[in-house]
Structure 1
Amino acid sequence: MTYDLEIHIEELRAEANHCDLTERAQIIAELEAARAALAAAIAAQDVERVGEPPH
């Protein structure tokens, strides 16, 4: 799952560099959401490995 999110983030970054300003704002918002989802997925994996929440 994290690999797919990483690919999606890279695609959004590339797309943000080649669009107009209005479209860029929307892509940046999507990029931030994807980064948050990636961070949550990584945290969930860490919990599964350790069995307790990170400190």
Structure 2
Amino acid sequence: MTTCIDEVIELLRAELLNAEPGEYRQIESELELALAEREVIWAEQDGRISAEPPF
């Protein structure tokens, strides 16, 4: 799963380089979300957080 999110991040970074001014903020927001999602994936894999519900 990490490879897939890494590909998404790289695609968004490439889009950001060629973005029109009106698209820039939208792509930047999508990139921020993808980076945060990757951090969560890594934290789950490392055991720093649990994906199990607390109840």
Alignment size in residue pairs: 49
How many Å apart are 1:20 and its aligned residue? 0.6
Structure 1, unpaired ranges of 5+: 48-52
Alignment partner, residue 34 of structure 1: 34
TM-score (norm 2): 0.83
How many Å apart are 1:16 and its aligned residue? 0.6
Q: Distance in 2 between matches of 1:44 and 1:22?
A: 35
Q: Distance in 2 between matches of 1:32 and 1:7?
A: 14
How many Å apart are 1:22 and its aligned residue? 1.3
TM-score (norm 1): 0.83
Alignment partner, residue 22 of structure 2: 22
**Structure 1 stretches of at least 4 aligned residues deviating more than 6 Å after TM superposition:** none
Choose between structure 1 and 2: higher helix proportion. 1
SS for the counterpart of 2:19 is coil
Alignment partner, residue 10 of structure 1: 10
